[in-house]
Amino acid sequence: MKTIYLVRHGKSKRGPEYETDFERPLAKRGKRDAARMGAYLAEHDLLPDLIVSSPAERARDTTLRLAEAAGYRGEIRFEEVLYLTGDQAYLDLAWGLDEALGSVMFVGHNPATEAVIEALSGTYARMPTAAMACVQFEVAAWGEVQAGTGRLAWVERPKELE
């Protein structure tokens, strides 16, 4: 079995002081929710084998806060292709993973996160900021992960964990 966790970055700040969308940082709520979701992962023993994140400031900070709160000690990679791209970029990254890995967590942006979940599982899931979903595949190799072949196992949203 292969598992893909999908996380939308936490709530971010907006304003003219940020020259580009890429630079927008997490808001106070985004920081809190990222840590809350990391604690959820730890509490339920759901740590991924690898985390791959968009390098945009808000996604990067979400990733680092989530990983710290979860006690995650594995590899974290930042991939430009996860910044404002579609579901094919996620599949391409999954197909290139080491077969020894059983799970990967992708931290990205909407609308891509919702689109990827729906493409992989055939099920729509609403993904507010800092939400996390789990899609499972009954396959032995990452190359067998295809659109429509996954099962949406669960979705957790920060407000539901309060």
Has residue 141 got a pLDDT over 80? yes
Q: Read off the pLDDT of each residue in 130-149 and give the average, rounded to a whole number.
A: 97
pLDDT at 17: 81
Angle of the 112-121 helix axis to the 87-95 helix axis, nearest 10: 60
pLDDT tens for 37-66 read 999 999 999 999 999 999 999 999 999 999
User: What is the domain count for the chain?
Assistant: 1
Q: Which domain holds residue 18?
A: 2-161
Domain of 141, CATH number, reads 3.40.50.1240
Residue 83 sits at the vertex; the CA angle it makes with 51 and 118, to the nearest 5 degrees, is: 75
End-to-end CA distance of the chain: 31
- SS3 label, residue 86: coil
- pLDDT category at 87 given cuts 50, 70, 90 is confident
Q: What is the largest CA-CA distance in the chain?
A: 48
Parallel/antiparallel/unpaired status of strands 132-137 and 103-108: unpaired
Q: Does 90 have pLDDT greater than 90?
A: yes
Pick the more confident residue, 44 or 15: 44
